[in-house]
Structure 1
Amino acid sequence: MVGGGEVALFSVWDYVVFAGIVVGAAGIGLFQAIRSRKDSSSDEFLLGGRQMTAVPVAMSLTASFMSGITVIGTPAEAYRFGTGFWLFAFAYAIMSTVSAEVFVPLFYRLGITSTYEYLEMRFNKPLRVIGTSMYIIQTALYTGMVIYAPALALNQITGLDLWGVLVATGVVCIIYCTLGGLKAVIWTDVFQMVIMLAGFVAVIARAAVLQGGLGKIWKDAEEGGRLDPFDFNPDPLQRHSFWTVVVGGSLMWISIYSINQSQVQRYISCRTMTQAKLSLYVNMIGLWVTVSLAMLSGLAMFSIYKDCDPLTNGDVDNSDQLLPYLVMDILGEFPGVPGLFVAAAYSGTLSTVSSSINALVAVTVEDFVKPLMPNLTEKQLSWMNMGLSVFFGGVCIGMAAVASLMGSILQAALSIFGMISGPLLGLYLLGMFFRCANSMGGLAGLVSGLAITLWVGIGAQIYPPGPDKTHPLDLSIEGCLANFTTVSPWTTVPSLNTPEPRPPLADSWYSLSYLYFCPLGTIITMVVGLLVSFATGGCKQQKTRPELFISTNDLFCFTCCSSKPTETPELVEKVHSNGKQGIDNPEFSGMELDTKEKDLDKITRF
């Protein structure tokens, strides 16, 4: 114990606590299913009847991406690299403000169910299909990682059967997603969020007792160089600095919360726009609390293992197993408490998987099924929703095998969002702020941005950056029972084999910070999109419906393509009251402004 070597495995009480919490989560989902059984409409299943309130939605927003990856990966990040990850608190604040004040009014006003409906309204149907397909691929990959990585780490430390837990996780999510829809997902997320935070608190409290208080933990972290997050080095190749986290991280999280179906679907389920905005600001506080507890858990782990690093000592195989190892080490003597922590990690997994399944069903129904089969009845749509929930649950379990090839789970997860969501965010910004952007420009920009981000992202996976770019902090094993030499866990043993030569791009282009993948894709998409739009007559195209834009002042629009319409209350009210139905009304749809300019120029662009 706390000196290297074997730790205890799960006891009977740990299994009881773990199983009880998972069954309790499923029970909440089933209760919501029974409660809503009288209303089986597609809108109720996918959006909770648009009657949700801010606080449960906010907790669901936080839980959706504060997954088992966060529970396990973020403390390991603080242990190995220090508290630079804490700077994401700035990114969360920027993301929440932009999402609430820019994207919520647009999506809420349009009354959309799938985020990608906007791409067809603004550009054309092919771009909507491409956007939806990119989202499905991204979400399936990410969800597979969310299922697999925590299960593997916990399996090797606690002895839980890997594939048994994987399948059980998927089955539980499938059951309450299939029967309860979005309401079941949101209220289950609320319960799971509480369990996640309780797991962190248990680790921090026990570590404080063992180390003689939080002050001792903080002092050890300071002496170990873990409390210097403000690194202002502008080098884009450095993994974490103030600029990569705040600039790159902000855009990455904006791409997740502003256009990702899993998140948008939650806040557009709120009963009013005010509630939707409030949910994002409450979610910001939830993210601050979660990342702070995760960081403190990592610092507590460093305080305990500063003289005997389990990774260097061979007690664990990789950094993702560090926190489960710590839990079994310092909490194993308390029956049921390790079970609580494992339940916390799996609560994060369940919340993310259930959110992903529900969102995948929503985009599939809205973007593929309804356009192909517009005459489906509500009962048929209900069966379709449930069938797709089962299908996507199976897909996510199957994708767990792919996740084993992705390396460090925290960085790999965020890299996936950067590579795919970055170009998509660029496409949305292109459409929302630039009147002269057309569908040809949007397609060219999206393809260019995606090609570049996949190039650098896949290259980084094949040729990961070296220690000179990642800057891991030194650890010691001088206090371990069988070792008395201070070393760095990242010092490699000389090999008799000649190392394979790295291509020139490996230490430059492929070493770009993973947090810059999203800004790179966003900028390339917008620049190429604007250039191609100009070249293909974007400024001469028929004027686009003004309700699809963000600002009445055209702050980021080109003046050659802008106009300043005046308000006509009856037409504005029609857009306000009818939402999507008002926009799809023949009075608006397909109107040619060169012949009906007077009418459409009277609509206020919000």
Structure 2
Amino acid sequence: MQPLHIILLILGYFSVLILISFLTGKSANNSTFFKANNSSPWYLVAFGMIGASLSGVTFISVPGWVEGQQMSYMQMVLGYVLGYAVIGLVLLPLYYRLNLTSIYTYLEERFGHYSYKTGASFFLLSRTVGASFRLFLVANVLQLILFDAYGVPFWITVTITILLIWLYTFKGGIKTIVWTDTLQTLFMLISVGVCIVMIKDDLQIKNLFTYISENKLSKTFFFDDIKSGNYFWKQFFSGAFIAIVMTGLDQDMMQKNLTCRNLKDAQKNMFWFTIVLVIVNFFFLAMGILLTDYAVANGIDAHKDNLFPMIAMNGNLGIITSLFFLLGLIAAAYSSADSALTSLTTSFSIDILEIDKKQNEQTQEKTRKKIHILFSFVLIATILVFKYFIADVSVIAKIFQFAGYTYGPLLGLYAFGLFTKLHVKDKLVPIICLIAPIITYLISTYSKNNLGFDFGFFVLILNGALTFLGLLFISNHQKSKSFIIPIIMSLLGFIRALLNGFEDWRAIVFLVLGIAWFSIAASKFKN
């Protein structure tokens, strides 16, 4: 595939997106940009969210992960199902009842001003880094297959990438994104299907499902080594909590749900989105097995994030495969990045600057456009930092590891707000939310280096639990202090069970006592 072909594909693709932006951005105002005037069809939101959830990272990193981790990622995907159920049954009713534009305004109503700002700030940090990770991966691929051929430096590649996003989101915002994400998800799924069929035919596989099930890389469930990072229960519960925080407590993902006409539509969206997402992730992992076997059969030295791009673009599978790979990659990357830029603009405008409270409609629109440009530059700068400092590991692993530290305080804040009636000393909340990730890092590092126990993505749950304990400690209700020890007991009981294995009867007794203590504490909190 020649560089000129790639340029024409990119130009044609973005011409379509800009046309959609023009059509959806007519008579757009702040309500259109932030909430799409609450008029989005639920089925469009559900379908578009698939692309936003998967992103270019899933498109490239998940297939590349199979070689080293087999299909263990599916354990996390199954955990997502539990997490999305919590979102649909607990969080969405709350957000619709309060009629929120930014989901973090709940924290102000529940705890106070400092808690509100803390939650919004952690989201801004999390989403900026997460979106930059994703765009960094795609920009690297574009640099390799296109811009290096013309001697274009990496920083220009990144700038062009962000500029294209800004062009089709600056006016219509979330209303435009609901429609563009639908189109981009369709392109991405077609691309995966075409690539699977082309590799299957080249390897002369008669029955794909039989081939996958009998392949040594298809092992999905890991119950053997409880200290391993891919142990089933660690990944399952980590997946559930990652879904809750990276979707349910994330302005980016929830902003789409809040554009639905009502709560019932939003819940239907979440239900169908969950089913399709599980199926799509299975096919990404299946494609990873095919790609790995294809690389071995053809002597291609490609691993991790380089596996899919190198095979798809080397020309052996034909120009059709290269074309659809590139189309799918661009679609997956931009369906995630465009909504990230819009949600960052929304959160900073509403949560930090509070333009809806302090400015008239005309001034709000001017401010919002300036913030949109500001975050475009922030993403460019962050991606350039990753280019020169990121380690040579799977990008998807990096994203989930980072999420464990930045989304943990959000998990603790919302859990405390939803499951207790206690109030806290609001000014101390930022301190608690900064201390919890630090302690989490120290515990995780010590455990891995000295005990041989890898928390993996489970650091998110540990971080949230420590934040919860910290909030309990600074609560205004003096009686609540007596329940700090029972909750610590439950946490230690669970960790001991993980460290020693559930076959150790002492660990089981410790865990049961911890759960009993926690149940007593929880019932007291509700009263």
Return the offset for 1:100: 0.2
What is aligned with 1:48? 36
What is aligned with 2:220? 229
Tell me, yes or no, if structure 1 residue 399 matches structure 2 residue 382.
yes
Deviations for 1:291-325, whole angstroms, at most 9, x for unmatched residues?
122112111112212345533xxxx4x52111011
What amino acid does structure 2 have at the position aligned with 1:512? Answer: D
Tell me, yes or no, if structure 1 residue 31 matches structure 2 residue 23.
yes
TM-score by length of 2: 0.84
What amino acid does structure 1 have at the position aligned with 2:67? Answer: Y
Who wins on radius of gyration, i.e. which is larger? 1
Change (3 A) 1:428 1:216: closer
Residue-pair matches, total: 483
What amino acid does structure 1 have at the position aligned with 2:438? Answer: A
Q: Which runs of 5+ in 1 are unaligned?
A: 1-8, 460-503, 541-554, 564-606
Match of 2:359 among 371, 376, 384: 376
What is aligned with 1:285? 275
Return the offset for 1:340: 2.7
Secondary structure of 1:67's counterpart equals: helix
Change (3 A) 1:418 1:24: same
Q: Distance in 2 between matches of 1:70 and 1:287?
A: 12
Match of 2:311 among 321, 326, 330: 326
Change (3 A) 1:383 1:444: closer
CA contact (8 A) 1:54 1:270 kept: yes
Residue pairs, 1:233-272, within 5 angstroms? 233=224, 235=226, 237-272=227-262
Identity of aligned residues (%): 19
CA contact (8 A) 2:315 2:322 kept: no
Tell me, yes or no, if structure 1 residue 298 matches structure 2 residue 240.
no
Change (3 A) 1:442 1:29: same
What is aligned with 2:487? none
TM-score by length of 1: 0.74
Match of 1:91 among 58, 76, 79: 79
Return the offset for 1:510: 9.1
Deviations for 1:362-396, whole angstroms, at most 9, x for unmatched residues?
1111112226x834111111122222111111211
Q: Distance in 2 between matches of 1:537 and 1:507?
A: 38
Match of 1:179 among 167, 171, 182: 171
CA contact (8 A) 2:229 2:456 kept: yes
What is aligned with 2:46? 58
What is aligned with 1:543? none
Change (3 A) 1:220 1:174: closer
CA contact (8 A) 2:33 2:172 kept: yes
What is aligned with 1:448? 435
What is aligned with 2:410? 424
Q: Distance in 1 between matches of 2:201 and 2:397?
A: 31
**Is the helix fraction higher in 1 or 2?**
2
What is aligned with 2:135? 147
Change (3 A) 1:151 1:538: same
Q: Distance in 1 between matches of 2:357 and 2:398?
A: 39
Q: Distance in 2 between matches of 1:101 and 1:89?
A: 19
What is aligned with 2:495? none
CA contact (8 A) 1:158 1:328 kept: no
Q: Distance in 2 between matches of 1:73 and 1:324?
A: 10
**Which deviates more, 117-126 or 51-60?**
51-60
CA contact (8 A) 2:147 2:157 kept: no
Residue pairs, 1:506-585, within 5 angstroms? 507-508=449-450, 512-533=454-475, 536=478, 558=522, 562=526
Q: Distance in 2 between matches of 1:452 and 1:214?
A: 52
What amino acid does structure 2 have at the position aligned with 1:402? Answer: V
Tell me, yes or no, if structure 1 residue 347 matches structure 2 residue 334.
no
**Which deviates more, 210-219 or 343-352?**
210-219
Change (3 A) 1:221 1:57: same
What amino acid does structure 1 have at the position aligned with 2:272? Answer: V
Return the offset for 1:333: 2.9
What amino acid does structure 2 have at the position aligned with 1:524? Answer: L
Secondary structure of 2:47's counterpart equals: helix
Secondary structure of 1:387's counterpart equals: helix
Q: Which runs of 5+ in 2 are unaligned?
A: 483-518
Runs of 4+ in 1 over 6 A off after TM superposition: none
Change (3 A) 1:114 1:517: same
Return the offset for 1:268: 1.4
Q: Distance in 1 between matches of 2:15 and 2:450?
A: 49
RMSD: 2.7
CA contact (8 A) 1:206 1:330 kept: no
Change (3 A) 1:171 1:250: same
